[in-house]
Amino acid sequence: AAAEKGGFSSFMDKEIHDQPAAVRDTLLGRLDERGRLSLDELHIDEAVLRSVDKIVVIACGTAAYAGQVARYAIEHWCRIPTEVELAHEFRYRDPIVNEKTLVVALSQSGETMDTLMAIRHAREQGAKVVAICNTNGSSIPRESDASLYTHAGPEIAVASTKAFLAQITAAYLLGLYLAQLRGNMYADEIVDVVDELQKMPEKIQEVIDAEEQVKKLGTDMVDSSSVLFLGRHVGFPVALEGALKLKEIAYIHAEGFAAGELKHGPIALIEEGQPVFVVVPSPRGRDSLHSKVVSNIQEIRARGAITIVIAEEGDESVSDYANHVITVPQAPTLLQPLLATVPLQVFACALAGAKGYDVDQPRNLAKSVTVE
């Protein structure tokens, strides 16, 4: 087993380090030299894809947060109304799906029973289903109309890491492909995004190369009893995923919030010494998201929070209000989750390790839940 871990102390640690390759391999062979998307494996009639009037992303756990990230990109690029729903909720609310609905099922294992039942139901209503999956020939791809595999390689640790980044990447490829097919984006706009996507493996590597600071934070914070995570726009699902990692492997109470929701409730939780991670959007983004999140940091800091801020390199605006700044390379807003998630994984892994827990086999959890 030690050899399989490639010299890392756990599979989770190794899989965090596999992420540049997971994203690179998921992009591989799906882009031509001109930056156009070619998804040969998407065996669904182009006329059907052009007629899609709603996308429903279904998944559980970490995959559902990948779906939440993807929704921002797909709606922005394709202008198709997109919903994301937990598979077990979707199935039991009599959802409105028909021949014009495209269901995207995200699953690392391809064996999650809740997700499988949801796609069966969707297909019975006439919807087309695309599976985004990491496991060749597993049940969910077999029961879907088409599959887009993530090429993250086998994921062993129960807490998902590299599959998450690969799912976001594959879902983005699907979104860009639909935008290309339906003429929602100019060819050069697509090329621009593709170029940026191709730079991501290198940038993820930079985040990993700087992991010592985050690991130290994790071990220093070993006695935390509660950690909060804030994010906005695509940073919101990143915050949710950061909280989930900590719950799953460190058994610490952790919650993710939309930063804008703070004043509507969660700010009441802030007291002296409360650690809060904040995912800060790019200051180069088009709207005022960045300054709004910076104000949130000021508000919680003024109430005694210990702020751990994930911000873009060169963003000086946060330093006055942050107890700790973790920088990530510059990237377009929609691609930032591929970077900002990584320190949160490293943090959870280090903290759980410092507690002496088996990070690969957390209590009460299974890698793949094959019962409803």
**Which residues contribute to the site for ligand G6P (CB under 6 A)?**
60-63, 107-109, 112, 115, 158-160, 365, 367-369
> CB of 173: closest distance to ligand G6P in angstroms?
18
Positive/negative CA dihedral, 293, 298, 302, 305: positive
Backbone angles phi, psi at 289, to 5 degrees: -55, -45
Q: List, in order, residues 6 or more apart from 199 with CB less than 8 Å away.
A: 331
Task: Judge contact between 334 and 235, C-beta under 8 A.
Answer: no
> Phi/psi class of residue 370: alpha, beta or left (left: φ > 0; alpha: ψ in -120 to 50)?
alpha
Q: Which is nearer to ligand G6P, 60 or 338 (CB)?
A: 60
> CB of 2: closest distance to ligand G6P in angstroms?
24
> CB of 245: closest distance to ligand G6P in angstroms?
9
- The structure tokens 């919903």 sit at 83
> CB of 42: closest distance to ligand G6P in angstroms?
20
Task: Judge contact between 206 and 312, C-beta under 8 A.
Answer: no
Cα distances (Å, whole numbers) of residue 196 to 38, 192, 193, 325, 338: 17, 6, 5, 24, 12
Q: Which is nearer to ligand G6P, 145 or 248 (CB)?
A: 248
At residue 102, the 3 state secondary structure works out as: strand
Report DSSP state, residue 37: B
Which residue in 54, 247, 292, 367 is the catalytic one?
367
Q: Alpha-carbon distance 20 to 162, whole Å?
A: 9
Name the residue among 351, 340, 106, 362 with its Cα closest to residue 239: 340
Q: Active-site residue 5, yes or no?
A: no
Which are the catalytic amino acids?
Answer: 367
